[in-house]
Amino acid sequence: MTDPSSEAPKPLELRRELGLLAAVAAGVGSIIGSGIFKKPALMASQLGSPELLILVWVVAGVMTLFGALSIAETAGLFQDPGGQYAYFNKGYGRFVGYLYGWAVFIVTQTGSLAAIAYVFSDSLGYFVKFPRLSAAWESFSIPVPGIGAMTPFKSIGLKLTTIGLVLFLTAMNYLGVRFGNAIAVVFSALKVGVLAAIVVLAFTLGHGSVENFTASVPAAAGSPSVFLMFIMAMAGAFWSYDAWINMTFLSGEIKNVQRNLPRAMAMTVLIVIAVYVLINLAYIYVIPVPKMAAKYSESYLVAVDVAESFLGRWGAAAIALAIMISTFGAVNSIAMTSARVYFAMAREKLFFRKLGRVHPRFRTPATALAVQGIWASLLVFSGTFDQLTDMLIFVSWVFYALAALSVFTLRRRMPDAPRPYKVWGYPATPILFILFASVYIVFTLYTDIMNFRSGQAPIINSLMGLIWVALGVPGYIYWRRKSRREERAASQTDFSREIPR
């Protein structure tokens, strides 16, 4: 018989300390970042119509809700940590699950973490002047095939501030899920409160006009079709809604997860849809779409003009502060949720084993958090995170479509499993989401190819995103073979112990 004393001690598990409110706060905190401030002007320049601008936010929100409702059924089936990573393992097998987790680690979440933290520091720059190096140092670059060039010394003060924020919030989440959760609740409430204040003040003190809701940019001859521009504008809306999947990453720490997680996902997306539609109505009420389109540039924020309409010269400062509040909460929520994916991969023996450790005192995935913070900091320092994130948005939507499709595969594989929540409107809801995601993927690929052929882009972003995911395949082969060798060795050891002497 096997000697019980020789068995390895059971590894520490994460604590289930998060309730429904905490899950919703983490979800809202992850989703609402800088997009709602930075994307509306670009979308206005693409669409030229207030009706279409609002419609894009509604359609993108409804599609996001359909995706959340579909995946919520899968979330209700399991209690495994890692969320969507674990669901892919169950629905498609370990290889697809690994590729998803690899993409999350290499850039979809760490890149988002770096990009949003960078926006925080950029807004802080309104109040503080960051130190910079000489022009010779700032121009130093390291070529990266298929991406462009790394510029590690450009805007060094801003980058060091960004890294400081990432590491500070990593440390807060390292010290316990309650620390990260407290920050998520406070800053989610603050950011929703700030956006609500902008809406109220814009409609009461903003000197706007209801006529702006019908003022459109005249269509120019030879301009792209409305449908194509609508799809292009959807990219901005989807970026602003992105990170809705992050709630599933906390599945190992949510109380009564099979009931609370599906409810939290639906509630979170509905809250964000309401916030986004209202804030865009406020924008349009004060600044007509033709003016937004005419003033659009990479640095233009329509929210600044709106705030100046009721705050005067303090408007820009108020929006800079609002962006800082919003992005601070988003960085915290992304840092808190995403590390759970690499933790789950390590527990499945498909990643570096040390990332699967739970801190004995704080009961957090401490090593996974630390490695995530370090990698995100390197992305900040390299200056390539924006390019990488653009590439991986396409890949994210491929995985979103697969996640919704897993509702059907799991119903076939596990027909008798208890489902605390079944997707509303089945099968229409997941089918509509899958079809929409497929159209979005095809048109994104088409647009990237056209931009490459016309010389507007040096590479085809979507294809490069797939290449970055494929770079993780050798890692899967290595860890899978190592795991099988260990399993064979363990079974032989157990067999030898059972042979009577």
- Does 355 map to a domain? yes
Whole-number pLDDT of residue 447: 83
- Does 501 map to a domain? no
- Does 3 map to a domain? no
Whole-number pLDDT of residue 376: 94
Q: Which two tokens stand for residue 210?
A: 């209801």
- Does 500 map to a domain? no
- Does 304 map to a domain? yes
Whole-number pLDDT of residue 49: 92
**Residue spans of beta strands (DSSP E) within 415-469:** none
Amino acid at 176: G
Task: Please state, in angstroms and rounded to a whole number, the distance separating the CA atoms of residues 272 and 266.
Answer: 10
Whole-number pLDDT of residue 8: 52
- Does 487 map to a domain? yes
Domain count along the chain: 1
**Global pTM exceeds 0.85:** yes
Whole-number pLDDT of residue 32: 93
Task: Please state, in angstroms and rounded to a whole number, the distance separating the CA atoms of residues 98 and 88.
Answer: 8
Which residues, 6 or more positions from 86, have their beta carbon under 8 angstroms from its beta carbon?
A: 78, 80, 97, 251, 344
Whole-number pLDDT of residue 9: 60
- Does 232 map to a domain? yes
- Does 5 map to a domain? no
User: Can you state the angle between helices 302-311 and 177-205, rounded to 10 degrees?
Assistant: 60
Whole-number pLDDT of residue 1: 47
Whole-number pLDDT of residue 300: 85
Residues of the chain with pLDDT under 50: 1-2, 4-6, 221
Whole-number pLDDT of residue 288: 94
Q: Which two tokens stand for residue 477?
A: 């082969």
Whole-number pLDDT of residue 117: 93
Q: DSSP string covering 295-353, please?
A: H--TT--HHHHHHHHHHGGGHHHHHHHHHHHHHHHHHHHHHHHHHHHHHHHHHTTSS-G
CATH code of the domain containing 236? 1.20.1740.10
Task: Please state, in angstroms and rounded to a whole number, the distance separating the CA atoms of residues 393 and 447.
Answer: 14
Owning domain of residue 209? 13-495
